[in-house]
Amino acid sequence: MTIPAPPSHRVGMKWLLIILAGLFLVIGVFAVVYFFTANTHAGVKVIRMEGTLSTGDFSTDEGVGSEYVGNQIREAADDPTVNAIVLRVDSPGGTPAAAEEIIGDMEYAKTKKPVVVSMGDIDTSAAYYVSAHANKIYADPDTLTGAVGVIWTFTDISGWLNQEGYNITDVKSGAFKDMGTTSRALTPDEQTYAQQIVNESFEEFITDVTTQRMIARSDIQDGRVIRGADALKINLVDQLGNLNDAIAGAQQLTEQRK
């Protein structure tokens, strides 16, 4: 048997429950607002691509994987609360394959909403390969960008090995199987083959960049690094500005699509 509470007590409990419910509602609203403002800026999702690019699903202080970046881009593209994407880039480049994978995800995102790039300290080589596919590119005056080119480095420590008395023998199934080993220099045939691979990769790279950005091939084919202020003059970037400027630009592109 339960003794009923006096009427006045029941009224007090009712108001206490109403107040608590109101507090929980207010806290919930603030939590939702904080979540979205922490990840978006008035409908703009900022995604960071920092460090050396390679394929894989990872992010460290030294580099980032194409799957890691690409998944974030696709999630933002499919998120109805996101109106535009800003890719904040601080990368010296990386592998062509990693750039090509991220480009595929950027092209997917561009079918749904604007994608803008904001360059930080550096956005060169394979990182610029990615950036060239954005709807608009912002850079700081002293951002280092460009360096459009491909390099493949081989190391020969055979002199040191001989000096230390090491003798290495490779038993291989084909003439090129141990190409790149550090125990000897490249043969002339290997050098020719390596140059062929570099040339083909570079041709695809520079053709894509000059098509996306309408840049004169002669302005970038030497592979040099270019200051942001000078990059603006040759159409490597669209506008000088920081991350906030890029966010504002992304919002403007969103309005233009409506």
Q: Which of the residues are catalytic?
A: 125, 177
Let me know the angle formed at the C-alpha of 129 by 246 and 88, rounded to the nearest 5 degrees.
30
- For 112, residues 6+ apart whose C-beta sits below 8 A from its C-beta are 77, 78
Q: Output the six-digit token pair for 14.
A: 């009712």
Q: What angle do helix axes 188-213 and 96-110 make, rounded to 10 degrees?
A: 20
Alpha helices in the chain (DSSP H): 7-39, 66-78, 96-110, 126-131, 158-164, 188-213, 217-220, 228-233, 243-257
Let me know the angle formed at the C-alpha of 203 by 135 and 98, rounded to the nearest 5 degrees.
60
CA separation for the pair 146, 228 (Å, rounded): 9
CA separation for the pair 139, 238 (Å, rounded): 8
- For 31, residues 6+ apart whose C-beta sits below 8 A from its C-beta are none
